[in-house]
Amino acid sequence: MTDTKGKVVAVNGNMVSVEFDGKVSLNEVGYVKVGGQSLKGEVIRIRGNTAQMQIYEMTNGISTDCNVEFTGDLLSVEVGPGLLGQVYDGLQNPLPLLAEHSGYFLERGVYLSALDENTKWDFTPTAKEGDVVFAGDSVGTVPEGPFTHKIQVPYGFLGSYTVKKIAKAGSYKIHDTIATLVDEKGKSHNICMSFKWPVKRAVNCYAERLSPEEPMVTKVRLIDTFFPVAKGGTYCIPGPFGAGKTVLQHTTSRNADVDIVIVAACGERAGEVVETLKEFPELKDPRTGRSLMERTIIICNTSSMPVASREASVYTGVTLAEYYRQMGLNVLLLADSTSRWAQAMREMSGRLEEIPGEEAFPAYLESTIASFYERAGIVRLRDGNVGSVTIGGTVSPAGGNFEEPVTQATLKVVGAFHGLSRERSDARRYPSIDPLDSWSKYKSIISRNLVEYAREIYKRGAEVNQMMKVVGEEGTSLDDFILYLKSEFLDAVYMQQDSFDDVEGATGVDRQKYVFSKIISILGSSFKISEKEEARGFFNMLRQNFIDMNYKTFGSKDFYDAEKKIDGILAEKGASVDSDVKALLKDGE
């Protein structure tokens, strides 16, 4: 605590105005004292000697005679071994412990340590006496679940430090001193295995930022082939209720080619958050067969918790992601839903009586969203290792209207857009990512020309389908009708994917390449077919057999048997691949 004294002079919902005597800085944390409780808040504006604070708790009971204490610290998280597997609220309180402490209704004003202070960790030093180190460099390691957790020099350490003393290999608690560092002026600093870092400050203790090019494979065909995400990239998923957001989040968490997944469930209905909390620990990690929680952190806030903590949870999430990136790991942050966070910003801005922008969102909405997504990135660390933070944010636009400010601001900054479509989820075509509206700026695992060819067929087939609704099947030519059947075939056997089957639900890169070529050759073939009924029967059979093949393990005898059967069906109709498609396929190899 600092010497600055404050007194509440006004309360407006979650915003409290405090008159202070002394020094207060922006984003400083303070506590409002009410009836024996200390309620945490953050200074969000200072005018003269009045500070406006957003309070991270219910504010009932706060009145104009309450005292306020200031900490001199910015809103921070504690980082160190023991973060993996935790479920936190936005202020990094471990939720299961909080529930134990206060029973069914979470008591306000209770703040618990984020990391267990008594757990012992097997420390192995990697730095030696005399080494010169900088912030973010590691001085030793401890095993944490499946990873080698690097114990780092705190990010706030400016300049170079010489290692004066380093602990011997052995078991230590997070707050035991494990090294003594001497700064450029000769002053000694003891460090332990954990430290605090302000959540709103991006961690930049790396050598250089790289450009996100390597794909973050999700094993969802529609994503990897058509709308890929890169490691260190960003993407946005607008998700109307029931569109399959949760299922997609689970499949991505399980299968994405990353080390660690951080889920920031922010402001969604309590029911959905409970769902996340119940289901996540039951998800199996396909790599280890053990619980996915071993490499997951969940941060959650429901819509019934104070709005300010929604903001805290997205920042807490990204800060923890940056911390693990600093160990050379690949981290995926799923923020669900950023719209709720934006609503919190709007509410607070209204209370501050700021000049409103579009739809009453604050004028800085866009820059705030942009600077959040900018914290994603792939970086080379000073030790030569590469780590990444990929951010996927959902937005929940009211009435599915993508023109609203939050979706628009997000679309300006992200590298890929996976627009979930109500029409597709109603038709139970999952994942319901819209093949026409979605886009990505990242590189696909499949050659661009092949993907473009497939998209073109899909688009033209969809147009024929629209036209048929007007003129009927009789009014459609056989060629157009076959085009339509081809686009439906592509959709049914490749774009749609059943997540609930271990084989079909996770299509690896090699398999996607193999199967996609096969599909292209079918899309690019002409057949000896003379009427629509015949065409329909043929494509039905083809589709059914292809789907059967999708459920067979890639490379197994069953897989090749199913493929042979498909080849037989194709031969029977005199399938012949057009020469330009043959050339495309050859180029794409």
- Confirm or reject binding of residue 303 to Mg ion (CB under 5 A): no
User: Under a CB-based contact definition with an 8 Å cutoff, are residues 162 and 132 in contact?
Assistant: yes
Q: Annotation-wise, does 384 bind a ligand?
A: no
Phi then psi for residue 216, to 5 deg, are: -95, 95
Smallest separation (angstroms) from ligand ADP to the CB of 395? 12
Bridge partners (DSSP) of residue 181 are 163, 189
What DSSP assignment string belongs to 116-155?
Answer: -SS-EEEEEE-S-TT-EE-TT-EEEEEEETTEEEEEE--T
Say how many residues make up the chain: 589
Q: Annotation-wise, does 270 bind a ligand?
A: no
DSSP letter assigned to residue 166? E
The residue whose two tokens read 């079909």 is 504
Under rule CB under 6 A, how many of the chain's residues touch ligand ADP?
14
- Confirm or reject binding of residue 247 to ligand ADP (CB under 6 A): yes
Out of 241, 290, 436, 475, the residue judged to bind ligand ADP by CB under 6 A:
241
Strands 179-182 and 161-166: antiparallel
Q: Annotation-wise, does 243 bind a ligand?
A: yes
* Contact pattern from residue 181 through residue 220 relative to ligand ADP, giving x for each residue in contact according to CB under 6 A and a dash for the rest: ----------------------------------------
* Contact pattern from residue 220 through residue 239 relative to ligand ADP, giving x for each residue in contact according to CB under 6 A and a dash for the rest: -------------------x
Return the range that interacts with Mg ion (CB under 5 A); candidates 219-227, 255-263, 270-278, 437-445: 270-278
Q: Annotation-wise, does 164 bind a ligand?
A: no
Q: Report the half-sphere exposure of 37 (CA within 13 A, side-chain side).
A: 16
* Contact pattern from residue 482 through residue 521 relative to ligand ADP, giving x for each residue in contact according to CB under 6 A and a dash for the rest: ---------------xxxx---------------------
Angle at the Cα of 347 (from 19 to 415), degrees rounded to 5?
120
Tokens, residue 337: 């839903």
Nearer of residues 162 and 246 to ligand ADP, judged by Cβ: 246
Q: Annotation-wise, does 393 bind a ligand?
A: no
- Confirm or reject binding of residue 303 to ligand ADP (CB under 6 A): no
Nearer of residues 388 and 421 to Mg ion, judged by Cβ: 421
Q: Report the half-sphere exposure of 588 (CA within 13 A, side-chain side).
A: 25
Out of 126, 162, 246, 465, the residue judged to bind Mg ion by CB under 5 A:
246
* Rounded-to-integer distance, Cα 509 and Cα 514, Å: 9
3-state secondary structure 411-430: HHHCCEECCECHHHHHCCCC
Return the range that interacts with Mg ion (CB under 5 A); candidates 44-52, 55-63, 268-276, 498-506: 268-276
- Confirm or reject binding of residue 431 to ligand ADP (CB under 6 A): yes
* Rounded-to-integer distance, Cα 387 and Cα 385, Å: 7
Smallest separation (angstroms) from ligand ADP to the CB of 215? 20
Smallest separation (angstroms) from Mg ion to the CB of 276? 8
Bridge partners (DSSP) of residue 386 are 380
Smallest separation (angstroms) from ligand ADP to the CB of 522? 23
Smallest separation (angstroms) from Mg ion to the CB of 247? 8
Q: Which helix (H) or strand (E) holds 487?
A: helix 478-490
Smallest separation (angstroms) from ligand ADP to the CB of 278? 13
* Rounded-to-integer distance, Cα 231 and Cα 330, Å: 7
User: Under a CB-based contact definition with an 8 Å cutoff, are residues 174 and 153 in contact?
Assistant: no
- Confirm or reject binding of residue 415 to ligand ADP (CB under 6 A): no
Of 141, 138, 140, the closest CA to residue 152 belongs to 138
Residue with nearest beta carbon to Mg ion? 246
User: Which of ligand ADP, Mg ion, none is residue 560 near (CB under 5 to 8 Å by kind)?
Assistant: none
Nearer of residues 218 and 349 to ligand ADP, judged by Cβ: 218
Smallest separation (angstroms) from ligand ADP to the CB of 331? 23
* Rounded-to-integer distance, Cα 75 and Cα 580, Å: 60
Nearer of residues 138 and 432 to ligand ADP, judged by Cβ: 432
In Å, how far from its chain's centre is CA 325? Answer: 14
Query: Which parts of 371-415 are beta strand (E)?
Result: 377-380, 386-395
Nearer of residues 323 and 430 to ligand ADP, judged by Cβ: 430
- Confirm or reject binding of residue 246 to ligand ADP (CB under 6 A): yes
Q: Annotation-wise, does 240 bind a ligand?
A: yes
Tokens, residue 486: 């081809």
3-state percent helix, strand, coil for the chain, nearest multiple of 5: 35, 25, 40
- Confirm or reject binding of residue 160 to ligand ADP (CB under 6 A): no
In the annotated binding site, the residues are: 239-246
In the annotated binding site for ATP, the residues are: 239-246
**Can you give the binding site for ligand ADP, defined by CB under 6 A?**
239, 241-247, 430-431, 497-500
**Can you give the binding site for Mg ion, defined by CB under 5 A?**
245-246, 272
